Structure 1
């Protein structure tokens, strides 16, 4: 069944909704599915297709093109070479033999290396280049590192539409073409956390740059379209800023109950001091929600027992994940227990070299925590409170 929806006269959404996909990159959970958005822009003289969907949905894209009666495509604009944007490219260049595949130099290099297109069929697009379709022109905006080095955005000035690639998108399967902001906010934040957050500095630069464009619609490559651009732009501005919130993220794992007792105690101690706590039992938590929690938090406290002389692998994974995502978190500590010794603390701290964190003294108990250990947790909670107050005051003073 075809699904062609007109955004503006001559501008169509012709991508595919993937209701059932539950894992992306063999890592990222998709509790709400996703979409692979592809857009067709038809000018008076020429036609451009923007992005080419995942290979699993190639038939859907081709059916949508057929439903529009498209016999010729002049430009296939590849904004980003990742497979969910290029999965049907091989079939498209066969179906439309006169088409030119256009993208950034790095993107085209990747497409040729992947065997998706002959270099003779390509056209390099540079920042500021304009593709004139006749009455409609696409201006190219170079946007490397949101989230690959090859990314470009495409701006359709006549209709004030920004085709934003992965930037400003969300993994969300929905029947609505335009974003329900109450629904899409969490999906967009999770998407930012898992995919965009490591490139926060680049995102800030690109947000500033696109603020110079008149934009009525933002059409990303995943998730619904934004008919009120300020919603998603403001959200990204907040997430990518240096400001943090009075929050502690508390991922933990416990084998015999000792670390859990310490985790529960410090969670209650922090809450009693007016600090919001986001607690994650790593044996059954959605890692995407942990990533989302890291977007705003001032502090991360990792709870782990000692296992075979080192940190529990799940706790170490949480540290590695935080290191990869590079949140703006300012402070960290470690709590947990041990039996006969080991290198738990060293492993956790060495797993987070990318984070510029101030480390509070760890609280590690031998066996089940004793009264003295709980008092040390109280002192840790006091230290966190003092630093949070100092930080919140400094942030308020700069507003």
Structure 2
């Protein structure tokens, strides 16, 4: 794609990756992604903000063919999908300096073997004059690595946010057109990589509040020309108050656990509690992560395998522990044939979760009427807990 104008002296550059379906050999990309870079041309100096994934370096280099000089290459984040093409840019523009945080400098040296004399480190709030345009650098640690920062262009009221407010989505549209689609992609992005750092991100959102922001230009996904809604969404996602929602990952081998899952879900619905079910044998794990952004309670359903939880249920517990959602309650339901320690195993896998564990229920074989009644009592307890905590609707 060619350069695309955002402002008389600001252009989008980068590559649309329509085919990529997995990120970091871990994160599903159902809608592909993009790698966004931005060219800011002042009266005296020119800055390139971020680069692209090395696999698409040729596209960025072609877009820069008519750019005679780059004075500054701003690196917001050392991860290679943004920084990986920096060595090629520095080779083409031998006088360019890499502008980054003091924490990012050694990371970029380690990851990309960039010579130390090519760097200029900037303090939080420091500005760089390009002539008629200026770049102000704002440190935003743990969005989502420790070295990250964003750049503000006050003359255009434009925030270059890197992974902050990003979304993995491939689209020809420069600006957000389908807000619903982008909201889902941005929530998935937040859930999968940002959620563990939500308390720090909340502080960084507050840090940006004094800025007049009319455009947010992230390094993945489309540009927000009406950014209020994505900032409001982030405020909800980082808020410590969960929603009146049970996130319910489960797996069932011979049907007993599924009977319990369906009964508890129906009982929760009768009590006015929303439930989202995720059959771990077939689910998109990103959808489960998105549910965990909002959930007030997590219930894991598992049969017993070799005296422990089913491996898929163990993975769900591991994922929840890693993502550190704001859920306040957790329970476990399931079945066994002759014995086991599934409850103890799963409970031991969630040390990062600050939750109250509600009475688990494991039944031998198919659940009987008295055990279904116990599930009804669990549903009533969850509903009462949600009501007392004044969860969001």
TM-score tier (shorter) = over 0.9
- 1:322 aligned counterpart, secondary structure: helix
Segments of structure 2 that go 5 or more residues without pairing to the other structure are: none
Report the Cα offset of residue 183 of structure 1: 2.0
Report the Cα offset of residue 11 of structure 1: 0.2
Report the Cα offset of residue 182 of structure 1: 2.3
Which residue does the alignment assign to 1:134? 131
The two structures, once aligned, show a CA RMSD in angstroms of 1.1
Report the Cα offset of residue 392 of structure 1: 2.2
Question: 91, 94, 103: which is aligned to 2:88?
Answer: 91
Question: 268, 275, 280: which is aligned to 2:266?
Answer: 268
- 2:5 aligned counterpart, secondary structure: strand
Distance 2:370 2:24 in 1: 45
- 2:277 aligned counterpart, secondary structure: strand
User: Which runs of structure 2 are paired with 1:115-194 in the superposition (5 Å)?
Assistant: 115-180=112-177, 181-194=179-192
Q: What TM-score comes out, normalization by structure 2 length?
A: 0.98
User: Which runs of structure 2 are paired with 1:243-392 in the superposition (5 Å)?
Assistant: 243-392=241-390
Distance 1:182 1:14 in 2: 25
Distance 2:255 2:387 in 1: 32
User: Which runs of structure 2 are paired with 1:4-43 in the superposition (5 Å)?
Assistant: 4-43=3-42
- Report if aligned partners of 2:251, 2:258 keep a CA contact under 8 Å in 1: yes
Distance 1:369 1:87 in 2: 55
User: Which runs of structure 2 are paired with 1:191-210 in the superposition (5 Å)?
Assistant: 191-210=189-208
Report the Cα offset of residue 115 of structure 1: 3.2
- Report if aligned partners of 2:84, 2:112 keep a CA contact under 8 Å in 1: no
Report the Cα offset of residue 155 of structure 1: 0.5
- Report if aligned partners of 1:55, 1:87 keep a CA contact under 8 Å in 2: yes
Q: What TM-score comes out, normalization by structure 1 length?
A: 0.96
User: Which runs of structure 2 are paired with 1:108-119 in the superposition (5 Å)?
Assistant: 108-119=105-116
- Report if aligned partners of 1:245, 1:296 keep a CA contact under 8 Å in 2: yes
Distance 1:324 1:274 in 2: 29
Report the Cα offset of residue 324 of structure 1: 0.7
Distance 1:293 1:365 in 2: 27
Distance 2:3 2:229 in 1: 25
Render the CA deviation track for 1:294-346: whole Å, top value 9, x for unaligned.
Answer: 11111110000111111111001101101111111111100001112122111
Distance 2:350 2:261 in 1: 21
Structure 1 runs of 4+ aligned residues shifted over 3 Å read: none
- 1:114 aligned counterpart, secondary structure: helix
- The answer to whether structure 1 residue 107 and structure 2 residue 104 are counterparts is yes
- 2:103 aligned counterpart, secondary structure: helix
Distance 1:3 1:309 in 2: 58
User: Which runs of structure 2 are paired with 1:221-240 in the superposition (5 Å)?
Assistant: 221-240=219-238
Report the Cα offset of residue 225 of structure 1: 0.7
Report the Cα offset of residue 47 of structure 1: 0.5
- 2:249 aligned counterpart, secondary structure: strand
Distance 1:123 1:368 in 2: 66
- Report if aligned partners of 1:89, 1:116 keep a CA contact under 8 Å in 2: no
Distance 1:163 1:172 in 2: 17
Equivalent pairs, count = 392
- Report if aligned partners of 1:297, 1:329 keep a CA contact under 8 Å in 2: yes
- 2:278 aligned counterpart, secondary structure: strand
Distance 2:221 2:367 in 1: 47
